[in-house]
Structure 1
Amino acid sequence: MIHNSLFKKYGLEAYYHPFHVKKETLAETIHAMKLLNIAGFNVTVPHKERIIPYLDEIDDLAKMIGAVNTVKNESGKLIGYNTDGIGFVESLKELDNEFINKRIVIIGAGGAARAIYFSLASAGVKCLDIANRTENNALKIIHAYPLNIETNCLTLNQLEQSLHHYDIIIQTTSVGMEPNDHQSLIEFSKLQINTLVIDIIYKPAVTKFLKNAEMNGARIDNGLTMLYNQAAYAFQIWTGIFPDVSKGITT
C-alpha cells in the first residue's frame, strides 16, 4: 500500500508486489530478480541476514549492521542497504525529541536490534543497553560498533528487575507476532510510570507486550511509524525522491 500509493502520487511506472520466499529458494529468487531486471525490492524476516552473500555490493552501514532490508538494482548489480535503523530514529524523534539524553534498553539481538542500536548510538545516545536471552549475541553487537559507547548486557530476568532504570524500552524480536501473539517476553511490575515502551511489531497493532506495559502505566507505540519512515528511505534509494510520509499514506 505504501509504495504503490507513492508510485501513483509521483507518477512513476512501477508496481510493488509481495513474494513469499522460502529459505531453500532464496538463491534462485535473487537470481530471478536479476534476470527479470527488477528495479529494487525490500527484504524482511527471516532473510535480512541470509541475503547478503547473494548480493553484489553492500552499503557500509548495512555491512556494519550485518543485515539488509532494501536492495537496488543498478545496471544489473544488486546493492544492499539498511533503512530500518534510520527509520526507527525518525519515528522516535516524533515520540520523544529528547531521546538522546534518555536511558534506553533494546530487547533482542537480531538484525533489527543491530540496526536500531547502531543508529541510536550514531545519533549520540549515551545510555544504551541490550537485553537478550543469549548474552553472547548481545556482546557481538557491542563489539561490532566502531564508536566508544558504554553498554550493559542484561538477561531478560535482570531487565525485569531493573525496568525502573529506563526511560525508553524497545522490543525488537518477533515474539508477539503470529503464531506467538499470545506471548510477552517480560513482565512490567517494576516499570516506572510514563516510560515509553515501543514494540516494532505492527501486526497485531497492540501486542501482548504493549498491553502489559500500558496496564503498568507506560506510554506505548507500535512499529507502524517506523514502517512508514524506513519505507520513505527505501523509496529514496530506488527513485531519488524522498517522500513526505508524516501524515501517513493514502491510496
Structure 2
Amino acid sequence: MENKITGINGPITGWLDGHTYLIGLMAYPIRHSMSPTMHNNAFAKLGLNYAYLCFEVGNDKLEGAVNAIRTLDMRGSNVSMPNKKEVIKYLDKLSPASKMCDAVNTIVNDNGVLTGYTTDGIGFVQALKDENISVKDKVMTLTGAGGAATPIAVQSALDGVKEIRIFNIKDNKWPQAEKNVKTIRENTDCKVSLTDLADKDAFKKSIAESDIYCDATGVGMKPLEDMTLVEDPSWFHKDMVVFDTVYAPRTTKLMKVAQKAGVEHVFNGIGMMIEQGAAAFKLWTGKDMPTDYIRQIMFEDENK
C-alpha cells in the first residue's frame, strides 16, 4: 500500500516500509539544512524508496557514525562541517577530486565499501552548464580557499578551465590556498596562481581579464549581507560571468554591483546548491534528480 507523507508543497517522501534505503547528513550544527527537503521531495517525485535524515554529528562521534553506515547498510551520507576532512580516515576509497581537495561531502556505500566524493565543484560547473556556459578554456578569478572555493577550483581545473587566479586574505585559509595551487599544478594542465586579496590593483586587473569571477567566500551572507569584495561596477565587463556562491539573500550586494555594470550573466548559489545535491543523488540512486521541480518547490519565491 502506498505510504506518502504530504507537506505544504506536496509529497515530501516516497515509500516508507521495510525496504526503504536510508541516507544521512552528518554535520554539526545541521538542523537548519535544506538538504532533507531537497532529497526527500526528489525521492517522492521519482517514486524511489529512500529516506534522507539529518544527524547532528561532530568529530567526536564521527567514527561511530561512519561505522553505522556499514552496520545499518545505509546507502550513504552527506558530510558537512566540521567533518569534511576528518571523515577521510574512516573511508575505504576516495574519488580523484576528493583526493585533490582533501575533503569529502558525499559517501556512497557499495556492499560495505565506503567511497568518498566531493560534489560541490560539480555543482558549480553544472550550474553554469545549465545556463549554457562552459568553464573549458576560460580564465577565472576566484576568491576564497575554504569549503566551497577548494572544490570549485579543483573541479574547474579538471573540467578544462584554462587559468584560475585565486585571491585570498592571509588568514588561516592561506595554507589551504597554497595547497590548492600546488595540487592543481601537479594534477592538471590548468595555469593557477595565488595572490593576496590586499593587492587591490592585481585583483582589479585580474577581474578585467577574466571570463568568470566567482566569489566563494562568505562575504554577502548574513551577517555580512551588506558587504562585497567588489564595490566598483567598473571592475566588471558585460560579457563576463559573475557568480556568487551565496544564495541567501537571493540577490547579494556583489550581484547588485554586477547588475549595475550591465553584466549579462549574474548568478547566485542556488543552482550550485541544487546541482551539488543532484550529483550526490545520482551517485546514490543512479537517477537524475528532477532539478526543475526541486527548484520550484524550494525557491518558488526567489524572485520576490
**Alignment TM class, shorter chain as reference:** 0.7 to 0.9
Retained in 2: the 8 A contact 1:171–1:198? Answer: yes
Whose strand fraction is larger, Structure 1's or Structure 2's?
2
Aligned mate of 1:193, from 237, 252, 256 = 237
Q: Which residue of 2 aligns with 1:157?
A: 198
Give the TM-score normalised by the residue count of structure 2: 0.72
Distance (Å, rounded) in 2 between the aligned partners of 1:79 and 1:10:
25
Cα distance, 1:190 vs structure 2: 4.2
Distance (Å, rounded) in 1 between the aligned partners of 2:119 and 2:284:
12
Q: Which residue of 2 aligns with 1:170?
A: 214
Q: Cα distance 1:96–1:190, how it changes in 2: closer, same or farther (>3 A)?
A: farther
- Mean Cα displacement is larger for which, 220-229 or 89-98? 89-98
Distance (Å, rounded) in 2 between the aligned partners of 1:57 and 1:94:
30
Larger Rg: 2
Q: How does 1:1-251 map to 2 (within 5 A)?
A: 1-134=37-170, 135-145=174-184, 146-158=187-199, 159-162=202-205, 163-194=207-238, 195-218=240-263, 219-246=265-292, 248-249=294-295
2:179 partner amino acid:
K
Retained in 1: the 8 A contact 2:128–2:134? Answer: no
Gaps of 5+ in 2: 1-36, 298-304
Retained in 1: the 8 A contact 2:84–2:104? Answer: yes
Cα distance, 1:222 vs structure 2: 1.0
1:71-123 Cα offsets, whole Å, 9 max, x none, are 11222332211122222111112335354343211111123222222222222
Structure with the larger RCO, 1 or 2 (CA within 8 Å, 6+ apart): 1
1:158-216 Cα offsets, whole Å, 9 max, x none, are 35432322231111123333344344334335412323211112223223333343344
Q: Percent identity?
A: 34
Partner SS, residue 18 of structure 1 = strand
Runs of at least 4 residues off by over 4 Å: 246-251
Aligned residues: 251
Retained in 2: the 8 A contact 1:89–1:119? Answer: yes
1:209-251 Cα offsets, whole Å, 9 max, x none, are 3334334443421111112222222111111222342564556
Question: Root-mean-square deviation (CA), in Å?
Answer: 2.5
